[in-house]
Structure 1
């Protein structure tokens, strides 16, 4: 990264690690805030209070940036219509550079395509991106009032949420395959990466995501619920089917309760109007002045 690049590190660990951060990035702005422990998206919002540039990128702490990443991100933003960029995130899996479906799409049945490790020949338009490697125009993040930071558990769908909100205000998002990071997933503090807890939160948070994007009356939401229950028959064996049905029923039921509280009959406005959103907006507007 260039010497003029601002680096903000938010550390929610019990003990400060400022010295180690400054060894790697001497000019980094280090924020030690234990109140956001277990809430990655709240840490993102804390970081936004310090951001000063025209483009802000978010990288997870378990990725390694490849040479050329920054240049590729900035090149994608040379198109004035682009409001958000999803970078390529490689997982070291053989064949992951090939993906048969369109990358990063919200499907009519409420499902999401992925393909963020794939290698198309040029940037492609997407509906959503991956949180480990995502970038936005700071002015767009300011207008939105930052991230919605109430997706619990592993914060699954917080990244999809911000991209769909960008889309809702007319912004364009692209997948930039030259903006590459290598993802080296770290162990979860609680539980395994894809355990039952993960699957429950995945369904709960996806339900809230679709309800916010399209409203509780959204046909996409209804189709997704049907899709999830139909997938039960594809689980192997009776025990597998029973397990998947239980996780699906509990996760969707939990999500329905959360959606009634966190969404509305019609789509939720994409811009935050609460005090946190106003604070983030004011900080970013002041930095841009």
Structure 2
């Protein structure tokens, strides 16, 4: 327990057994340990090492091998299995700081029952030449977000929330996120729904995870396209329900793409063009082909490991 509250840590994985083992180890090596760790593994083959792992005394370890595909389905299964009122989430390609769990849980307790906490996501060292990590949140100043805003601040692989919040707001949308036709932005969608439901998203820069730089440079453009396509699906979903604020968000998103292009890095410019192309395709696919929203990919669009 941390400050009198039971804590469950959730970790999602697919076909990355080595990264998953490292992620679990980093949680267990923290300055405090959770009461429970739940791993939902959508890998084609079960991870026997983790399935048979003997956890430290005081930590309940539950390894759930699932034949589903998609990180949203994985998150939903993990939340449904959680036994404690505080739920903290990370992913298999993240390593958490030693003080991460204590910091993010104490931040949640301080913020109260109408808040969700997210934290800094920094790139780990390149694990081969040209490798990279995306979805970084490197700001050093605390921040708080409420209502309809033009950014999407929630990183669900560095997040703490109350189990009661998940019960109120509902499941992650299984049509969006890695492993689906719209292979990103399940976190953006969930964060937006939290804000619409009146919750605050609190950014605590002291809660740090390192997003491992394992993706190879040759996949950079295809990954950016996939991220854009997922964002397009997320925008299309809310536009289809006549949420016209998404047009404001779209304008600001395109301005951010333009700002990054003006920085002059050729690879970044190509990646932003790929993002815009994927974004346009994702919006169109959601709005024009609704019957296909539930189709799933068995792997990520870029052909890399995992979703």
Q: Deviations over 1:39-96 (max 9, x none)?
A: 1221111212211211211111122222221211121122225421112222147xxx
Residue 205 (structure 1) shift: 2.0
Residue 140 (structure 1) shift: 1.0
- Distance in 2 of aligned mates of 1:84 and 1:260: 34
Name the Cα RMSD after superposition: 3.7
SS of corresponding position for 2:280 = helix
Aligned to 2:85: 54
Aligned to 1:159: 187
CA contact 2:221–2:271 (8 Å) conserved in 1: no
- Distance in 2 of aligned mates of 1:235 and 1:3: 42
**For residues 79-228 of structure 1, what are the structure 2 equivalents within 5 Å?**
79-80=111-112, 82-92=114-124, 116-120=137-141, 123-126=142-145, 128-153=153-178, 155-187=183-215, 193-196=219-222, 198-213=223-238, 215=242, 217-218=244-245, 219-220=247-248, 223=251, 227=255
Q: Which runs of 4+ in 1 moved over 4 A?
A: 1-4, 224-237, 240-247
TM-score normalized by structure 1?
0.66
Aligned to 1:270: none
1:216 and 1:61, CA in 2 relative to 1: closer, same or farther beyond 3 A?
Answer: same
SS of corresponding position for 1:176 = strand
TM-score normalized by structure 2?
0.63
Aligned to 2:300: none
Q: 1:63 aligns with which of 91, 94, 111?
A: 94
Residue 241 (structure 1) shift: 8.3
Q: Unpaired segments of 5 or more residues in structure 1? A: 94-113, 263-289
Q: Deviations over 1:117-156 (max 9, x none)?
A: 2322xx3214522232112211111112221121255632
SS of corresponding position for 2:174 = coil
CA contact 2:260–2:272 (8 Å) conserved in 1: yes
